[in-house]
Protein backbone atom coordinates (compact mmCIF):
# COMPACT_ATOMS: atom_id res chain seq x y z
CA UNK A 1 0.00 0.00 0.00
CA UNK A 2 1.41 3.43 -0.92
CA UNK A 3 2.47 5.71 1.94
CA UNK A 4 0.83 9.14 1.86
CA UNK A 5 1.90 12.43 3.44
CA UNK A 6 -0.20 14.08 6.14
CA UNK A 7 -1.27 16.74 3.60
CA UNK A 8 -2.51 14.09 1.15
CA UNK A 9 -4.49 12.41 3.93
CA UNK A 10 -5.91 15.76 5.09
CA UNK A 11 -7.06 16.73 1.58
CA UNK A 12 -8.49 13.24 1.06
CA UNK A 13 -10.36 13.15 4.36
CA UNK A 14 -11.37 16.83 4.30
CA UNK A 15 -11.41 17.89 0.65
CA UNK A 16 -11.82 21.59 -0.07
CA UNK A 17 -14.13 23.08 -2.70
CA UNK A 18 -16.13 19.93 -3.46
CA UNK A 19 -19.19 20.40 -5.64
CA UNK A 20 -20.37 22.02 -8.84
CA UNK A 21 -20.65 25.61 -9.97
CA UNK A 22 -23.94 26.29 -11.72
CA UNK A 23 -23.37 28.17 -14.97
CA UNK A 24 -19.60 27.72 -14.66
CA UNK A 25 -17.49 29.79 -17.04
CA UNK A 26 -15.29 26.78 -17.76
CA UNK A 27 -15.45 23.06 -17.07
CA UNK A 28 -12.57 20.62 -17.41
CA UNK A 29 -13.56 16.97 -17.39
CA UNK A 30 -10.84 14.42 -17.69
CA UNK A 31 -10.47 10.80 -16.92
CA UNK A 32 -10.24 7.20 -17.79
CA UNK A 33 -13.59 5.51 -17.20
CA UNK A 34 -11.93 2.09 -17.65
CA UNK A 35 -9.81 2.43 -14.50
CA UNK A 36 -12.16 4.76 -12.66
CA UNK A 37 -10.29 8.06 -12.25
CA UNK A 38 -12.61 10.82 -13.44
CA UNK A 39 -12.16 14.48 -12.49
CA UNK A 40 -14.35 17.45 -13.25
CA UNK A 41 -13.21 20.97 -12.36
CA UNK A 42 -15.49 24.00 -12.59
CA UNK A 43 -14.23 27.59 -12.69
CA UNK A 44 -15.91 30.97 -12.40
CA UNK A 45 -13.81 33.78 -13.85
CA UNK A 46 -14.04 37.46 -12.91
CA UNK A 47 -11.61 40.14 -14.13
CA UNK A 48 -9.33 37.45 -15.64
CA UNK A 49 -9.02 35.75 -12.22
CA UNK A 50 -10.43 32.48 -10.93
CA UNK A 51 -13.12 33.82 -8.63
CA UNK A 52 -14.41 30.38 -7.65
CA UNK A 53 -13.39 26.80 -8.33
CA UNK A 54 -14.99 23.49 -7.40
CA UNK A 55 -14.42 19.84 -8.25
CA UNK A 56 -16.04 16.44 -8.39
CA UNK A 57 -13.75 13.42 -8.52
CA UNK A 58 -14.33 9.71 -8.74
CA UNK A 59 -11.16 7.83 -7.97
CA UNK A 60 -8.61 6.88 -5.36
CA UNK A 61 -7.62 8.94 -2.34
CA UNK A 62 -4.73 10.56 -4.22
CA UNK A 63 -7.08 11.64 -7.02
CA UNK A 64 -9.37 13.33 -4.51
CA UNK A 65 -6.46 14.95 -2.64
CA UNK A 66 -4.86 16.32 -5.82
CA UNK A 67 -8.20 17.73 -7.03
CA UNK A 68 -8.69 19.43 -3.66
CA UNK A 69 -5.16 20.85 -3.70
CA UNK A 70 -5.51 22.17 -7.26
CA UNK A 71 -8.59 24.16 -6.25
CA UNK A 72 -6.74 25.63 -3.27
CA UNK A 73 -3.72 26.56 -5.39
CA UNK A 74 -5.65 28.49 -8.05
CA UNK A 75 -8.48 30.26 -6.22
CA UNK A 76 -7.96 34.00 -6.69
CA UNK A 77 -5.15 33.52 -9.23
CA UNK A 78 -5.09 34.93 -12.75
CA UNK A 79 -5.70 32.49 -15.58
CA UNK A 80 -2.03 32.77 -16.54
CA UNK A 81 -0.91 31.94 -12.99
CA UNK A 82 -3.33 29.00 -12.88
CA UNK A 83 -1.98 27.67 -16.18
CA UNK A 84 1.47 27.42 -14.60
CA UNK A 85 0.18 24.94 -11.99
CA UNK A 86 1.73 21.67 -13.14
CA UNK A 87 1.50 18.14 -11.84
CA UNK A 88 4.82 18.67 -10.04
CA UNK A 89 3.51 21.83 -8.34
CA UNK A 90 0.47 19.87 -7.12
CA UNK A 91 2.58 16.95 -5.87
CA UNK A 92 5.01 19.30 -4.08
CA UNK A 93 2.14 21.20 -2.44
CA UNK A 94 0.96 17.85 -1.03
CA UNK A 95 4.48 17.05 0.27
CA UNK A 96 4.89 14.43 -2.44
CA UNK A 97 2.99 11.49 -3.84
CA UNK A 98 4.06 7.86 -4.21
CA UNK A 99 5.38 7.27 -7.78
CA UNK A 100 2.47 4.93 -8.53
CA UNK A 101 0.05 7.81 -7.78
CA UNK A 102 1.74 10.59 -9.79
CA UNK A 103 -0.76 10.10 -12.61
CA UNK A 104 -3.39 11.50 -10.22
CA UNK A 105 -1.60 14.84 -10.03
CA UNK A 106 -1.35 14.83 -13.82
CA UNK A 107 -5.12 14.42 -14.04
CA UNK A 108 -5.80 17.22 -11.55
CA UNK A 109 -3.52 19.75 -13.28
CA UNK A 110 -4.75 18.68 -16.73
CA UNK A 111 -8.42 18.99 -15.69
CA UNK A 112 -7.70 22.54 -14.48
CA UNK A 113 -6.00 23.41 -17.78
CA UNK A 114 -8.99 21.97 -19.68
CA UNK A 115 -11.35 24.14 -17.63
CA UNK A 116 -9.34 27.22 -18.63
CA UNK A 117 -9.27 26.06 -22.26
CA UNK A 118 -13.04 25.48 -22.09
CA UNK A 119 -13.55 28.99 -20.65
CA UNK A 120 -11.56 30.51 -23.52
CA UNK A 121 -13.42 28.40 -26.13
CA UNK A 122 -16.80 29.49 -24.74
CA UNK A 123 -15.68 33.13 -24.63
CA UNK A 124 -14.63 32.87 -28.29
CA UNK A 125 -18.04 31.38 -29.18
CA UNK A 126 -16.67 27.89 -29.89
CA UNK A 127 -18.74 26.13 -27.22
CA UNK A 128 -17.73 23.67 -24.51
CA UNK A 129 -14.93 21.20 -25.25
CA UNK A 130 -16.38 18.22 -23.34
CA UNK A 131 -14.78 15.23 -21.63
CA UNK A 132 -11.26 14.16 -22.55
CA UNK A 133 -10.23 10.55 -21.98
CA UNK A 134 -6.72 9.76 -20.84
CA UNK A 135 -4.78 6.63 -21.73
CA UNK A 136 -5.14 3.77 -19.29
CA UNK A 137 -2.45 3.46 -16.63
CA UNK A 138 -1.29 0.47 -14.64
CA UNK A 139 -2.01 0.47 -10.97
CA UNK A 140 -1.61 -2.38 -8.51
CA UNK A 141 -4.45 -1.23 -6.35
CA UNK A 142 -7.34 1.07 -6.99
CA UNK A 143 -9.49 1.75 -4.00
CA UNK A 144 -12.45 3.48 -5.59
CA UNK A 145 -14.04 6.17 -3.55
CA UNK A 146 -16.52 8.73 -4.68
CA UNK A 147 -16.33 12.16 -3.14
CA UNK A 148 -18.89 14.70 -4.21
| C-alpha span between 8 and 117 (Å, rounded) | 27
Distances (CA, A) of 78 to 20, 23, 114, 119, 148: 20, 20, 15, 13, 26
Pick from 12, 69, 59: which is nearest to 37 by CA?
A: 59
Q: Which residues are catalytic?
A: 35, 104
Pick from 103, 86, 108, 96: which is nearest to 9 by CA?
A: 96
Torsions phi, psi for 20 (to 5 deg)? -120, 155
Pick from 111, 129, 137: which is nearest to 38 by CA?
A: 111
Close Cβ partners of 66 (under 8 Å, ≥ 6 residues apart)? 11, 90, 91, 94, 97, 104, 105, 107, 108, 109
Amino acid sequence: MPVYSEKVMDHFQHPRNVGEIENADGVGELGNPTCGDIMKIYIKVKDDKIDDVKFKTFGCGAAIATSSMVTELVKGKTLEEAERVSNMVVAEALDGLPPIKMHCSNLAADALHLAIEDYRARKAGKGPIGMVETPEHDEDEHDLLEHA
